[in-house]
Amino acid sequence: MSTTRPALDAPPAAPSSWKEYVFSTVIIVVVTAAGLLLPESYYVSVGLIHLLAIILLCLHVGRGPVLMAGILSAFAWEYIFIPPHFSFAINSLQDGLLFGTYFVVSLVAGQLTAQIRAQAQDERRREQHATALLHLTRALAEAKTLDDAVFAALRQTDELFGAQTSLVLADDARRALVPHFASSYSLNEKELTTAEWVFRNQHTAGRFTSNLSDSTSYYLPLVRENATIGVLGVKVATDRPLTITQQNLLEAFARQLALSVEREHLRAASEREKLLAESEKLHRALFDSVSHELRTPLAVINASADSLAGADPSLSGQLVNEIRTAVHRLNRLVGNLLNQSRLESGTLKPRPDWCDVGDIVNAAVENTRDALTGHSLTIAVPENIPPVRADFALTEQVLTNLLLNAANHTPPATPVVLTAGIEPGGQRMFFTVADHGPGFSPAMRGRLFKKFIQDDTTSTSGLGLGLSIVRGFVVAQGGEVVAGENPGGGAMIAVYLPHPPPKAAAQA
Amino acid sequence: MTTSHPSRLLIVDDEVQIRRLLRVALEAENYEVHEAASGQLGLSEAAGVHPEGIVLDLGLPDLDGREVLRRLREWSQVPVLVLTVRDGEEDKIAALDAGADDYLTKPFSRRELLARLRAVLRRTQPSSEETVVRFSDVEIDFAARIVRRAGAEVKLTAKEYDLLRYLAQHRGRVVTHQQILRELWGANAEDSTHYLRVYMTHLRQKLEPDPRAPKFLQTESGVGYRLVES
C-alpha cells in the first residue's frame, strides 16, 4: 500500500518547497541575461518581458516564490536596465512611474493567479471527494453481501488515502468488537484499546488527535441512530497529519459504511423473522398432516373393532380387511418417519452387497401389493441382468416408495410400468417407475424431493416424505434421481445407481 | 402340529398387550404358554420351566434382547424366535449372530408367527433327521443326492445342490448370506455373495414355477434366504 501514491493532493496550506524558489530565481536570472543582449534603449520592452515571465511563473509556482520573483525582477530591472545602468538611481519621472507600476502589477498578478490556482485546486479536490464518495456508494450498493461491501469500501479507503484500514464491528450483544476479515492490518492489544475507547465515546481518537495520540492509526466511530456499531481504523503511511478535508472525507466514508452495516443488520433481522414464520407454518402443516395420517387409520381400526364386537358375522371379513389396511398404512407411515430421521441424523450407512435385481423388484412389488390393487403393473427387467452392487433394503425402500407414489397419485386402474436394467455404457444401473397420472405440476418440479412437500393441486394424503426418502437413500448410495415426463403422459421417475463391473463376474 | 404333547413356550416381552395376544394365538394351537415381562425374569423363567421354544422381544426395558440371547446361549440351545420393531437388517443379522433362530418384525400376522415358530421348533425335534424333503412339486433326496421336479430328475451342479440342501435343512427359517457362504465355501469366502446370487438365480430357474417371482426360494431383504414350504 505504501507504494501507491495517495490520490488526494497535498493540502493547500503546505508551504512551497525550496525548489520553487530556486526555479523562480533561475528564470529571473535567465530573463535578465537575455535582456542584456538587447540594445540599451529597449529597457521598457525588457520590463514587459520580465512581467511576462512573472505571469507565466504564477501558473506554475506558489504565491511566495512569485512574490520573491516579482521583487527580484523589479530590482534587477531597475538596477541593470533603467538608465543610469548599474545604479538604483532613477533619472526621469517617467522611469519612476514605470518602475512603480511594474512593481505593483507584478505583485497583484502574482496574488491573483495564486488565488485562481488555489480555487482550481479546491474545485478539483471537491470533485475528487465527490467522485470518491460516488465510487464508494456504488460499490456498497452493488455488493451482494455485507462482507463484499466492507471489502470494497476498505480497499477504496486504502487506495484513496494510501493507507491501511481496519474495521471492527460490534457483535450482536454490542459488547465485544469483532475484527472484519477484510481489514488490511490487524489491531494489536493497544490499538484495540483505542478502538474500544472510540466505540464507547463515539469520538475519533488515535494518531493526529488529542485522544490516545500515541496509537499508530486514526480511529473513527461508525454511528447509526446514536449507537456505535463499529470502529474504522486508518493507518496512513506518511507522517503528515490528515487535513480537515481528508478527515471530512473519512467521516463521510464511515457514515456510508455504517449505513451499509445497519442495512445488512435490518435485512438479516427481517430474514430471521421470515424464516421463523415459515418454519412455524411448516410446523403447523406437519402437525396437521401427522395427526391426520395417524388418526385416520386409528379411527378405522377403532370403528372396525367396535363393529366386530357388535358381532355381525357376515361383515367380519370386510371389517378385518379394513383393520389390516389401516395397520399397513400406519406401519408404512412409521417406517417413513423412521427412515427420514435416519437420513437426517446422518446415521445412515449403506451396506452395498451383490443383489439380484429381480429380488429387489419382487420385494418392492410385494410391499405395495395392496396399495397397487386396481392398477395394472408391468415389470420389465432383462432376463439375463447380472447381480448389481447395492444396499438391498435401501433400494427396496426406494422402489417401494416410487410404486406407492405412483399408486397414490394416479387415477384408479391406470397402468404403472416398472423397468430396470444396466445403462448401455455399463457404468450405471437404473430403475424407472412411470405412471399415467397427471404428472408433476411445474410448481412441484423444483420441490419434489423436499420433505413434507405435497402437491397442493391434488388432495392425496401422505406426509410428503416418500420422494425425500427416495432421494436420500439413492444419494447415500452414490446415485441420482431424475423426475420427468412419461412419454405417454404422466410422471416418470428414474433412479440411477453406480454399477461397478464385478471383479469375479467372469468366473461365476 | 403333529406333536403328541403340547410344546412349552416362553414369551419374553414387556408389553402386556403383546403377551396377551400371543397367549391367545398360541394356546389356540395347543401350546403351553409361560410369560416373562423382563429380560432377567425371562432368563430365570427359562431356567425354571425349560421351555421348548422362546419368543423373545429385542426391546426389553432391563436387558437388551441380544444380551438375553447371549446369556441364554451360554447354557441352552433352546430355539429362539426374536420379535423386533426395527426394520434395519443390521439388527436382524446381529440377533441371528447372537444365536436367534429366526426373527419376526412387528407388526406381524398370526399366520407368520405360527409358521416361524413351527420352523424354529423343528430344529430340536427328532424328525429333523429326515432324508427326503418336499416342497411344491420338488423332492430332495438327501441320501441319494437326487433332486426331482414333478418326478423327473433335475441336474444340479455340486454347489447348487449344496445350497439347496442347506436351505432345505433349515426350511422355514432364515439363513444369512454369511451362514451359507461359510457352509458352502468355508470361513474365508464371506465376501463372495456375488457367486451366491448367481447360484440362487440358477436354482430358481431350475426349480421355481416362475423364476422371476419366486414362491419358495425367497429372499430376505439384506439378510439372506428362506425356503418356504407352501
Which ipTM did the prediction report?
A: 0.78
For A505, which of B90, B194, B201 is closest by C-beta distance? Answer: B194
| Closest B-chain CA to A330 | B107
Q: Which residue has the higher pLDDT, A13 or A60?
A: A60
Q: Does A356 sit within 8 Å of B200, measured CB to CB?
A: yes
pLDDT at B168 > cutoff 70? yes
- What pLDDT, on a 0 to 100 scale, did the predictor assign at position B3? 47
Q: Which residues of B touch A335 (CB under 8 A)?
A: 87
For A354, which of B90, B197, B213 is closest by C-beta distance? Answer: B197
Q: Chain A contact for B219, CB < 8 A?
A: yes
Q: Are residues A166 and A102 in the same domain?
A: no
- What pLDDT, on a 0 to 100 scale, did the predictor assign at position A129? 80
**Are the beta carbons of A468 and A342 closer than 8 angstroms?**
no
Q: Chain A contact for B214, CB < 8 A?
A: yes
The reply to whether the predicted model has a pTM over 0.80 is no
Given A221, A243, A264, which residue is the final one in a domain?
A264
- What pLDDT, on a 0 to 100 scale, did the predictor assign at position A151? 85
From the list A366, A388, A385, the residue with the least C-alpha distance to A377 is A366
Which of A225-239, B7-21, B166-180 is predicted with the least confidence, judged by mean pLDDT? A225-239
| CA–CA gap between residue A208 and residue A191 (Å, rounded) | 14
Classify strands B146-149 and B138-141 as parallel, antiparallel or unpaired: antiparallel
- What pLDDT, on a 0 to 100 scale, did the predictor assign at position A9? 45
- What pLDDT, on a 0 to 100 scale, did the predictor assign at position A13? 45
Q: Are residues A107 and A207 in the same domain?
A: no
Q: Are residues A474 and A358 in the same domain?
A: yes
Strand boundaries in A226-344, DSSP class E: 227-236
Q: Which residues of A touch B90 (CB under 8 A)?
A: 351
The separation between CA B160 and the C-alpha centre of its own chain, rounded to angstroms, equals 21
| Nearest-CA distance A284 → chain B (Å) | 29
- What pLDDT, on a 0 to 100 scale, did the predictor assign at position A121? 81
Q: Are residues A81 and A171 in the same domain?
A: no
Condensed to tens digits (0 to 9), the pLDDT of residues A441-492 reads 777 777 778 777 666 555 455 677 888 889 999 999 999 999 888 888 889 9
Given A84, A110, A136, which residue is the final one in a domain?
A136
Angle at A363 between CA A444 and CA B21, to 5 degrees: 105
Condensed to tens digits (0 to 9), the pLDDT of residues A388-422 reads 999 998 999 999 999 998 988 888 889 999 999 99
Identify the DSSP state of A229: E
Q: Are residues A23 and A127 in the same domain?
A: yes
- What pLDDT, on a 0 to 100 scale, did the predictor assign at position B82? 94
Q: What average pLDDT does the segment B97-120 reach? A: 89
3-state secondary structure of B103: strand
How sure is the predictor about A142, in pLDDT bands with cuts at 50, 70 and 90? confident
Identify the DSSP state of B80: E
| CA–CA gap between residue A318 and residue A304 (Å, rounded) | 9
Domain of A374, in residue numbers: 353-498
Q: CATH no. for residue A454?
A: 3.30.565.10
Q: What average pLDDT does the segment B5-22 reach? A: 87
The separation between CA A67 and the C-alpha centre of its own chain, rounded to angstroms, equals 56
For A356, which of B88, B89, B197 is closest by C-beta distance? Answer: B197
How sure is the predictor about A506, in pLDDT bands with cuts at 50, 70 and 90? very low
- What pLDDT, on a 0 to 100 scale, did the predictor assign at position A125? 80
Q: Considering only the C-alpha atoms of chain A, give the largest distance between any 2 of them, rounded to a whole number of Å.
A: 152
Given A241, A264, A287, which residue is the final one in a domain?
A264
Residues in chain B: 230
| Closest A-chain CA to B190 | A353
From the list A202, A198, A200, the residue with the least C-alpha distance to A187 is A198
In degrees to the nearest 10, what's the CA dihedral of A481, A485, A487, A491? 90
Q: Are residues A96 and A152 in the same domain?
A: no
- In order of A151, A296, A336, A482, B17, the CA distances from A329 in angstroms are 56, 10, 11, 27, 21
Residue A75 lies in a domain: yes
> Considering chain A, what is the average pLDDT of its residues?
82
**Are the beta carbons of A396 and A387 closer than 8 angstroms?**
no
pLDDT at B2 > cutoff 70? no
Residue A94 carries which side chain, given as an amino acid letter?
Answer: Q
pLDDT at A501 > cutoff 80? no
Which of A43-52, A289-298, A390-399, A447-456 is predicted with the least confidence, judged by mean pLDDT? A447-456
pLDDT at A504 > cutoff 70? no
- What pLDDT, on a 0 to 100 scale, did the predictor assign at position A460? 55
Condensed to tens digits (0 to 9), the pLDDT of residues A253-287 reads 888 888 888 888 888 888 888 888 887 777 777 77
Residue A316 lies in a domain: no
For chain A, the domain total comes to: 3
Residues 6 or more apart whose CB falls under 8 angstroms from that of B7 comprise B31, B32, B52, B53, B121
Q: Which residue has the higher pLDDT, A317 or B203?
A: B203
Interface of A with B (CB under 8 A): 327, 331, 335, 338, 351, 353-356, 358-359, 362-363, 379, 381, 387, 391-393, 396, 502, 504-505, 508
| Nearest-CA distance A358 → chain B (Å) | 6
From the list A193, A184, A260, A249, the residue with the least C-alpha distance to A222 is A260
For A508, which of B87, B195, B214 is closest by C-beta distance? Answer: B195
| Residue for grid cell 437326487 | B146
Q: What average pLDDT does the segment A68-86 reach? A: 84
- What pLDDT, on a 0 to 100 scale, did the predictor assign at position B5? 64
Q: Chain A contact for B213, CB < 8 A?
A: yes
Q: CATH no. for residue A161?
A: 3.30.450.40
Q: Which residue has the higher pLDDT, A191 or B6?
A: A191
Q: What average pLDDT does the segment A337-349 reach? A: 80
- Measured on CA atoms in the order A416, A418, A423, A424, is the torsion positive or negative? negative
Residues 6 or more apart whose CB falls under 8 angstroms from that of B109 comprise none
pLDDT at B117 > cutoff 80? yes
Size of interface A-B (CB pairs under 8 A): 53
| CA–CA gap between residue B125 and residue B119 (Å, rounded) | 10
| Topology (CATH level 3) of domain B8-126 | Rossmann fold (3.40.50)
Condensed to tens digits (0 to 9), the pLDDT of residues B134-149 reads 888 899 999 999 999 9
**Which phi and psi angles does A88 have, rounded to 5°?**
-80, 0
- What pLDDT, on a 0 to 100 scale, did the predictor assign at position A45? 85
Q: Are residues A363 and A482 in the same domain?
A: yes
Q: Do domains B8-126 and B130-227 have the same CATH topology?
A: no
Condensed to tens digits (0 to 9), the pLDDT of residues A94-135 reads 888 888 888 888 788 778 877 887 888 888 888 888 888 888
**Which phi and psi angles does A158 have, rounded to 5°?**
-50, -50
Condensed to tens digits (0 to 9), the pLDDT of residues B34-84 reads 999 999 999 999 999 999 999 999 888 888 888 999 999 999 999 999 998
The separation between CA A79 and the C-alpha centre of its own chain, rounded to angstroms, equals 73
**Are the beta carbons of A51 and A77 closer than 8 angstroms?**
no
Residue A369 lies in a domain: yes
Candidates 3.40.50.300, 3.40.640.10, 1.10.10.10, 1.10.3720.10; CATH matching B130-227: 1.10.10.10
Q: What percent of chain A has pLDDT over 90?
A: 12
Residue A288 lies in a domain: no
Q: Which residues of B touch A505 (CB under 8 A)?
A: 194
**Are the beta carbons of A391 and A426 closer than 8 angstroms?**
no
| CA–CA gap between residue A85 and residue A103 (Å, rounded) | 18
Q: Does B219 sit within 8 Å of A362, measured CB to CB?
A: yes
Q: What average pLDDT does the segment B156-173 reach? A: 92
Q: Which residues of A touch B87 (CB under 8 A)?
A: 335, 338, 393
